[in-house]
Amino acid sequence: MFNIGDLVVYSAHGICKIDDICERTVLGITRPYYVLHPIENNSELTISTPVNNDKVVMQEIIDKEEAINILESFKHTGIQWIDKPNMRYSTYSDIINTGDRKEIANIVNTLMRKEIGLKLHERKLYVQDRKILNSSRNILFKELAISLDSSFEEIDEWVTKVIKGIN
């Protein structure tokens, strides 16, 4: 169970702060709820979710050691590219929805490498690939930045250099 003030990664909303834990009655059932908000852009969005909600992924921020291991994984190729766009989107989305940061990093790695390669030929990723890359990279790199007392921009720059072989 999380505590008030904890930072968590909450599904597609990214990094959120738990503002409160309270009892709520919904459809005649009373149970404890987390009340949280995304920390990005001073969002006014408030999210309420049951404490034992198994339909969404809510995880604590990774520790420094795990963050370093994930960063180091970008020195290697990601996962195998799937040529069929719909199959790729479905497979990558399923992996992302597990919340496994190492697997998410592999997808981000693969998509970043593909994007960089396509740019060399003045081409772009498919729209759905860009959406997966942008949302996954945004959440993952911000989490890594928090764990490593860094910034999104520094993480993004480091990873891009590693992928391009500049480091």
Longest dimension (CA), the chain: 59
pLDDT tens digit at each of 167 positions of the chain = 899 999 999 987 889 999 999 999 989 999 999 999 998 866 688 999 999 888 888 999 999 999 999 999 999 999 999 999 999 999 999 999 889 999 999 999 999 999 999 999 999 999 999 999 999 999 999 999 999 999 999 999 999 999 998 75
* Calpha distance 74→101 (Å, rounded): 12
Q: pLDDT tens for residues 111-131?
A: 999 999 999 999 999 999 999
Helix (H) or strand (E) holding 58: strand 58-60
pLDDT tens column, 148-166? 999 999 999 999 999 998 7
Domains of the chain: 7-60 (2.40.10), 64-164 (1.20.58.1290)
